[in-house]
Structure 1
Amino acid sequence: MNFDTARDTQRTPHGSSDDPDVLDFSANTNPHVPEGTEAAYRDAFEAAGTYPREPPAEYRRAAAEYVGCDPEAVISTPGGLAAIRLVIDLAVDPGDSVAIPSPSFGEYAREVRLQDGEPVFVPQAEIADADPAAHALVIVCNPNNPTGNAYPDEKLRTLAARCRAAGTPLLVDEAFLGFTDRPSLAGEPGVVVARSLTKLFGLPGIRAGFAVATGAWREALANARRTWNLGAPALATGAHCMRQGEFVAETRERVAAERERMREGLTDAGYAVHPSDAPFVLLDVGDRGVDAVVAGAAEAGIAVRDATTFRGLDNHVRVAVRTRAANDRLLEVLRDR
């Protein structure tokens, strides 16, 4: 990372409100956490008196069970974004091009630029057909943020095979995949998967995640990872949450049902709703205008995500799927905007 490049590379806008009086639909985190999470966090206090064990074996076992891979393939990171940065740092040299979906998570391009690489934006619907031979790295977000669509498993595995043939690593950001019943690419040769516990388990402040890789990439990531990069509370609560299968199943069912109900209500209200497999939906607001919708929601005590900060979107907002009561309130407000 170059000093001058870092000085000139601006921060990327994100959702989330820290106002406790605001009903926040701008961040895509679960409003619920698994039972027993607070106890697991509190019980970890005693363990915080010593450095965490290296490598964090229990956390790696829980992550491996969660995504279906070998524990040795798990590299713990403080959130999914830390895994993404680590991969880009290792894969990208100055002047390298990286295939990035568009619109998608803005941090991909930012991290590439911090390495003096060149983001090459590919329409997100076409990213699985990108030519890996032309790039130092290919990135896919599955399901994609902010559009919400997931890619067919076979399509991604075909892309992974083409990346292997070209000698180009494939980074798959699965931050929202846990909300679906689709299989992870964790353990697929030549693929690095980045996972976050922020979204599904409603714990953005814990900063827990991991990468999964095999072969030379596993070795490089394991060696490059900072020692003790997760604290005892993050390790303990993360391991606890990843073993709550009933919570995951209930969350998937609730989100799918509420997302469909929101889609119907928002469509009836005149919004164009993008198909979604994620815990959020992307809306084309039409003649209402983004500023008017965002401001009107704010007047009613609701935060929605201004999606015009995503590349290629100029008339969209993104709204999370929350509880039934909260979703009813959002529908009531947006119908009047």
Structure 2
Amino acid sequence: MRASTRASRVTTVDPDCVRTVERVPHGGEPDRDVLDFSANTNPHTPPGVEAVYENALAESTRYPDDAYPEFRAAAAEFVGCDPASVIPTAGGLAAIRLAMAITLGPGEEALVPYPSFGEYARELRLQGGKPRLVRYDELCDLEPAVLESVSFAVVCRPNNPTGDAVGLDELAAFATRCREAETTLLVDEAFLGFTEFPSAVELETENVIVARSLTKLFGLPGLRAGFAVATGEDRDALETGRRAWSLGTPAARVGSYCLRQDEFVAETRTRVRQERERLRDALEERFSVHPSDAPYLLCTLEEGNQDVSSLVASAREKGVAVRDATTFRGLDAHIRVAVKDRDANDRLLASLGVGETNTDGDGRD
């Protein structure tokens, strides 16, 4: 089914597939006494966010304004688009599911990158779609004949867990080929806010849907706030298909506030860039470290090094959780570590036995 008919269809999870599709592993450490490097979230939140949340909670005795004018305006300013193109969602993953729901029918195929975010393939399967797995760094080189055989393609920018981001010019060329093949392109920019790279919204191409997450950049993953950006028929279908009151009042108010904290964003980007390079230099004493534009680093254990499971367990014994990246397709000797602030990063390095840190031998302050 191609673009001309997609706008009239919004699906939910397939009742048969939902009984066979399993959940996928993610980072995130529930023990508050363990320093969490398994999830790629900002360790800081914008100043003043608590007061915004408290005021929003007091107003939560009424339904939120389903038009979300303030949130749309703030999101549009942040990424550089028309507010009407912004579709509020409860996190980036909700935007991804909605994009697939308006596009894919049972049995249709979609191009999914690997190693990459496991929810792409899972969400497709939940809706009865068929993921066709492609190396993430080869996806944008695919020829029109391949694109014409699928309804949907996903690009993760920067890619998770590798951290490298496809350039906008290369992405624009791929988006053009997708449009000519009548294939919808979803660009997941969950971590792009940590970089200075321009958003794919600048392409202003009708077949492109951009998914954004607020909660990683602003250190509030439990808030669940995000949005999609699209134009033309896709924009109309997303707006019609989104759930009513798709953001709670606290999420909408806090999200609007955070998106306008330019100084906080600039400071975060500078810190992540500087600390990422410092971490890379230290980690390369023991690991092969993949080039990254993101707030995380993918590390390969060299032959003869400790195996992944024992390394993860050893770090945890020292109070630090790192991500076992062997759960990503195609990775078998890898861990992923987030980039936090200097003190936390020093604890990470100490737990892995590398670098010169200001912590004692057990990795604790």
Query: 1:274 aligned to 249, 272, 290, which one?
Result: 290
> Offset at 1:43?
1.0
TM-score, normalising length: structure 1: 0.98
How many Å separate the matches in 2 of 1:140 and 1:182?
Answer: 15
1:193 aligns with 2:193: no
TM-score, structure 2 as length reference: 0.90
| Residue deviations 1:23-61 (CA, integer Å, cap 9, x gap) | 100000000001111111111123212111121000000
Deviation of 1:116 (Å): 1.3
139, 146, 149: which one aligns with 2:161:
146
SS of 2:53's equivalent? helix
More deviation, 301-310/41-50: 41-50
Q: Report the secondary structure of 2:125's partner residue.
A: helix
Contact 1:266 1:335 in 2 (8 A): no
Partners of 1:179 and 1:231 in 2: CA distance? 25
Matched, 1:114 2:114: no
Query: Within 2, Cα distance between the matches of 1:47 and 1:165?
Result: 47
Q: Give 2:94's aligned residue.
A: 82
Q: Corresponding residue for 2:315?
A: 297
Shifted more, 160-169 versus 57-66: the winner is 160-169
Please name the residue that 1:224 is paired with.
Answer: 241
Residue by residue over 1:221-261, the C-alpha shift from the partner in whole angstroms, topping out at 9 and shown as x without a partner, is: 00000110111100000000000011111000000000000
Identity, in percent, stands at: 57
Q: Work out whether residues 178 and 184 of structure 2, in 8 Å CA contact, stay in contact via their aligned partners in 1.
A: yes
C-alpha distance in structure 1 between counterparts of 2:284 and 2:104, whole Å = 42
Secondary structure, aligned partner of 1:121: strand
> Within 2, Cα distance between the matches of 1:203 and 1:2?
31
Give 5+ residue unaligned stretches, structure 1: none
Name the CA distance, whole Å, in 2 between partners of 1:116 and 1:53.
33
The Cα of 1:219 is off from its aligned counterpart by 0.2
Residue of structure 2 in register with 1:60 after alignment: 72
The structure with the greater share of residues assigned to helix is 1
Matched, 1:327 2:345: yes
Note the residue ranges of structure 2 that are not aligned, 5 or more in a row.
Answer: 1-12, 355-361
- Provide the residue aligned with 1:238 in structure 2: 255
Q: Is the 8 A contact 2:66 2:246 kept in 1?
A: no
Q: Partners of 1:261 and 1:53 in 2: how far apart?
A: 45
Kindly provide the amino acid, as one letter, of the partner of residue 219 in structure 2: G
Does 2:114 correspond to 1:102? yes
Cα displacement (A) at 1:4: 2.4
